[in-house]
Amino acid sequence: MKYGMFAMTGVAAAAMMMGGCASTPEVREVALDRAPITSKLEPQDVRRTVEKMTESLLSAPGVREAVGGTRPVLDVEPLKNRTTQHVDMVSVTDSLRMQLLRSGMFRFVDKSTSGTDIEFMDAQANLGLTDQKKAIKPGQQSAAQMYLTGALTEIKNQVGRTVDQYYKFSMTLKDLRTGELVWADEQEIRKESVKPRMGF
């Protein structure tokens, strides 16, 4: 009887130790380029795509011809998301713009913040707080000479427990004056995940 009680207490203590008493999850910082954990699009895929696209654009011979020693004004349009997943395409566009800006090959305008520009100019002209000799007047901004655009597409197949997911980022750089495509490239990503035989 006594032996049975001891055994039961021992099993209960072991179960508690194995289950863990702490309710807070273990949190640790991981590398930005971590190994994939799902077959979905992950931050490291986006980072690799942005890096590859930037390198490709900066080293393309067609871009050199179009730029021709000048620093043309460029706008980056948010990429179109044609997948079933939610992907923050504005963030992808921002990363791309940041890397191209740092290269020093282009100058940039941002159409998406034009509304804020108008608000500032309106306030400077009408609120009476700004010295009118120093106030920025509308109609002086640089015009975009080229724009960068693109899309993200996906193909998903599931056979049994295996999910095969394919993503493609495609991007083009267009000269606004001539209408010519100066550069185009794509980045393909293919991932496979296999569900376990057991479990939910």
Partner 1 sequence: MKQTNKLLSVVLLTAGLAALTGCVETAGTVVTTDHTTGSTLVLEDSTRLKDQIQVLSVNYDEVNGLKRVHITLQSAKHRRLRLNYRISWFDANGMEIDPDTKTYRNLLVEGRDTVTVTGVANSAAGVKSKLRVRGLEAAD
| Chosen residue from 4, 27, 84, 102 binding partner 1 by CB under 8 A | 102
Burial of 89 (0-12, 13-18, 19+ CB in 10 A): middle
End-to-end CA distance of the chain: 40
Task: Show Cβ contacts of residue 46 under 8 Å, excluding neighbours closer than 6 positions.
Answer: 87, 91, 92, 95
| Chosen residue from 59, 84, 113, 140 binding partner 1 by CB under 8 A | 59
- Angle in degrees, 0-180, between the axes of helices 89-103 and 43-59, rounded to the nearest 10: 40
Nearer to partner 1, 15 or 35 (CB): 35
Residue 103 binds partner 1, judged by CB under 8 A: yes
Q: Which range touches partner 1 (CB under 8 A), out of 31-39, 82-90, 134-142, 157-165?
A: 31-39
| Chosen residue from 54, 83, 93, 165 binding partner 1 by CB under 8 A | 54
Residue 30 binds partner 1, judged by CB under 8 A: yes
Query: Measured from the CB of residue 26, what is the shortest distance to partner 1 in angstroms?
Result: 14
CA distances to 5, 54, 55, 94, 186 from 101, in Å: 72, 10, 13, 10, 20
Q: Which of residues 32-51 bind partner 1 (CB under 8 A)?
A: 32-35, 44, 47-48, 50-51
Residue 66 binds partner 1, judged by CB under 8 A: no
